[in-house]
């Protein structure tokens, strides 16, 4: 029975990666145009959200998002969430309508087809390079000045120990938010690890729940408040995850 289950999971995971690539191939000319100029990024973002829905629904995931407060479409935010799965990218695109730019690890740029546009539209970071982290900060600063929101998974990657509910947060997202006096908007993803973790022979279709918390203002904050802001944000997400486990 376990062999049959693994075979089914294998084909299902292959189908997931096919779904990631086929829409990109079909929409390649449109995506190429929209990623050729930074001012056309909002148009690219609309297409990216459409792609995310294709991948999620086509893989048998059923997104269900609860909002504590409405997101202001006219404001820039620093979106942050717990990071447990490759589907976090698609799910974040599903949850948020405000155009934002991902800050993500450069390794994802190696994924065929997907990686081509990933590196053209996202801010890539090499976690082993101090110079890379400085360049990422500069590029994120420029995007925020143009009014585009930023999305960072502040854990800096998926914890290697899958038993860890929430890893330590890094400073970058909170430093940027304070520098630009934009609010932090935390999101909690409950099911992404269960649905599609980095353990290959695992996961299943099903409901994929998210919770959009109220924004955390940064007006008047300085770098002296950075740790407090970071710890408060982490506590909000962790408390929500722990409460869900108790249900």
pLDDT digit string, tens, across residues 205-222: 999 999 999 999 999 999
Q: What pLDDT shows up at residue 140?
A: 84
Residues with Cβ within 8 Å of 7's Cβ and at least 6 positions away in sequence, in order, are none
Name the pLDDT band for 132 (thresholds 50, 70, 90).
Answer: low
Q: 125 pLDDT exceeds 70?
A: yes
CA 23, chain centre distance (Å)? 20
Percent of the chain surpassing pLDDT 90: 67
Pairwise pLDDT comparison (62 vs 38), residue with the higher score: 62
Pairwise pLDDT comparison (107 vs 21), residue with the higher score: 21
Q: If you search the block for the tokens 């997931």, which residue do you land on?
A: 16
- DSSP helix/strand/coil, 210: strand
Mean pLDDT, residues 176-199: 94
Mean pLDDT of the chain: 90
The bridge status of strand 184-189 relative to strand 206-212 is: antiparallel
């Amino acid at each position: 029975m376990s062999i049959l289950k693994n075979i089914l999971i294998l084909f299902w995971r292959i189908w997931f990666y096919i779904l990631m690539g086929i829409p990109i191939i079909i929409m390649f000319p449109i995506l190429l145009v929209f990623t050729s100029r930074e001012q056309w990024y909002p148009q690219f973002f609309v297409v990216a959200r459409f792609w995310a829905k294709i991948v999620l629904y086509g893989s048998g995931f059923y997104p269900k998002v609860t909002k504590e407060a409405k997101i202001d479409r006219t404001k820039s935010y620093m979106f942050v969430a717990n990071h447990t799965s490759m589907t976090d990218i698609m799910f974040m695109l599903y949850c948020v309508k405000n155009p934002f730019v991902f800050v993500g690890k450069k390794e994802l740029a190696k994924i065929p087809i997907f990686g081509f546009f990933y590196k053209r539209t996202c801010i890539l970071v090499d976690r082993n390079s101090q110079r890379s982290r400085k360049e990422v900060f500069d590029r994120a600063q420029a995007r925020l000045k143009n009014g585009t929101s930023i999305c960072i998974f502040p854990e800096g990657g998926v914890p290697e120990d899958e038993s860890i509910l929430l890893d330590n947060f890094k400073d970058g997202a909170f430093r940027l938010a304070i520098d630009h006096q934009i609010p932090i908007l935390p999101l909690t993803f409950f099911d992404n690890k269960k649905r599609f973790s980095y353990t290959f022979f695992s996961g299943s279709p099903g409901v994929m729940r998210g919770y959009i918390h109220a924004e955390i203002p940064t007006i008047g904050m300085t770098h002296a408040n950075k740790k407090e802001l970071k710890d408060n944000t982490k506590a909000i997400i962790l408390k929500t995850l722990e409460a869900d486990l108790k249900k």
